[in-house]
Amino acid sequence: MVHRENPMNSNVEERRRQTLDLLDKTRRETRSLLSRLDPERVVHKDERAWRVRDVVGHLGVWNEEAVRSLSAYATGGEYYCIASVSDDYEYNGPAADERRIWPMQQVWDEYEKSHDQLKSMVETMPAEKWDGDMLYPWRERGTVEGLIRTMMNHERIDHCDVILKTAAE
């Protein structure tokens, strides 16, 4: 008897590999950019006036929330931390405030650990769940791959690209 791989599974495995590559690339780029900046430097010049340390903390917290959603989904449940995207400021403010007093190494450690956890969830997510409909931490719905892409785009575009622009000023 010849075992034939299910073409759907090979497609999932290729997309899983690409998603893992995106996670690794995003972490490398973020670490490279933010670790060379003064952690106290203000990098978001809006009403939040977030410093580098606040951004790293924010990214770590949201990665942990994504891990909670992925974990719940993998076991047949759902998880969210805010009622909608419009409520993110009420969540982000206290989360950033809590980390403002942490040593910078602790903030980085949380960020690194949360990326490791995301990577582990992607690696172990059953193939049959890959394209299923899951609940994101901010109550939108989508796929596993969609969640990771959204998270990494947020990290790269909404934060790192903005920080690069402010660093050039």
In the chain, the domains with their CATH numbers are: 22-168 (1.20.120.450)
pLDDT of residue 9: 62
**What's the mean pLDDT when you consider all of the chain?**
89
pTM score, whole prediction: 0.89
Please compute the mean of the pLDDT values over residues 21-38 and round it to a whole number. 95
Annotate 51-102 with DSSP letters as a single string: BHHHHHHHHHHHHHHHHHHHHHHHTT----SSSSGGGHHHHHHHHHHHHTTS
pLDDT bucket at 31, cuts 50 / 70 / 90 = very high
pLDDT of residue 7: 45
pLDDT of residue 3: 34
pLDDT at 32 over 80: yes
Nearest-5° angle of CA 17, CA 60, CA 15? 15
pLDDT at 16 over 80: yes
pLDDT at 21 over 70: yes
pLDDT of residue 166: 77
Please compute the mean of the pLDDT values over residues 100-115 and round it to a whole number. 95
pLDDT bucket at 22, cuts 50 / 70 / 90 = very high
